Amino acid sequence: MEKKYLYEINFVRAIACLLVVMVHVGARFYGAYDGSHTTLTNFFNQISRIGTPLFAVMSGFLLYNQMAKKEFNVHRFLKSRMTKIISPFVVWSLFYLIYSASYGTEVFPDFSNSTEVFDFIYMFVTGDSYFHLYFISLVIQFYFLFLLIRKWMNLKTVTLLTIISFYVNYLFITNEFEFMNSYVTSFINSRTFLLQWIYYFMLGALLVKLWPYIHQILLKRINQIYALVTGLFVLLFTVLDYHSHQQIINSNENILHFITIPIAFIVLISLYYQLIFWKNFIMESFIKLGNMSMGIYLIHPFIIDMYQRYAPYDVFAEPFYIIPFHIMVVLICVIVLKVISLLPYSQYIVTLVPSNRKNIKYNMDETQTMIKSYTL
Q: What is the pLDDT of residues 128-148, one digit of tens each?
A: 999 999 999 999 999 988 888
The phi and psi torsions of 183 (rounded to 5 degrees) equal -65, -45
pTM of the model: 0.92
Q: Of 91-100, 235-244, 325-334, give the lowest mean pLDDT range.
A: 235-244
Question: Under a CB-based contact definition with an 8 Å cutoff, are residues 169 and 224 in contact?
Answer: no
Residue 293 structural domain: 7-375
- pLDDT of the residue at 2: 44
Looking at 311-356, list the stretches that DSSP marks H as alpha helix, in order from N- to C-terminal side.
Answer: 322-341
Whether 142 is in a domain gets the answer yes
Burial 264-294 (b: 16+ CB within 10 A, else e): bbbbbbbbbbeebeeeeeebbebbbbbbbbb
Tally of structural domains, the chain: 1
Per-residue pLDDT reduced to its tens digit, 242-266: 666 555 666 777 888 899 999 999 9
CA atoms lying within 13 Å on the CB side of residue 51: 23
Looking at residue 277, its pLDDT comes to 85
In a domain, 160, yes or no: yes
Rg (CA), the chain: 21
Residue-wise pLDDT tens digits, 209-226: 999 999 889 988 899 999
Residue 135 CA to residue 57 CA, distance in Å, equals: 12
pLDDT at 4: 59
CA 1 centroid distance within chain = 31
Residue 183 lies in a domain: yes
**Could you give the angle at which helices 293-310 and 322-341 cross, rounded to 10 degrees?**
120
Does the pLDDT at position 328 exceed 70? yes
Exposure string over 315-335, b if 16+ CB within 10 A, otherwise e: bbeebebbeebbebbbebbbe
CA distance 57 to 269: 13
In a domain, 226, yes or no: yes
Tell me: the pLDDT tens digits for 1-14?
A: 344 578 899 999 99
Query: What integer best gives the mean pLDDT of the chain?
Result: 88
CA distance 92 to 297: 11
Q: Is residue 2 part of a domain?
A: no
The answer to whether residue 1 is domain-embedded is: no
Domain assignment present for residue 94? The answer is yes
194 in a structural domain: yes
Most confident of 113-122, 325-334, 360-369: 325-334
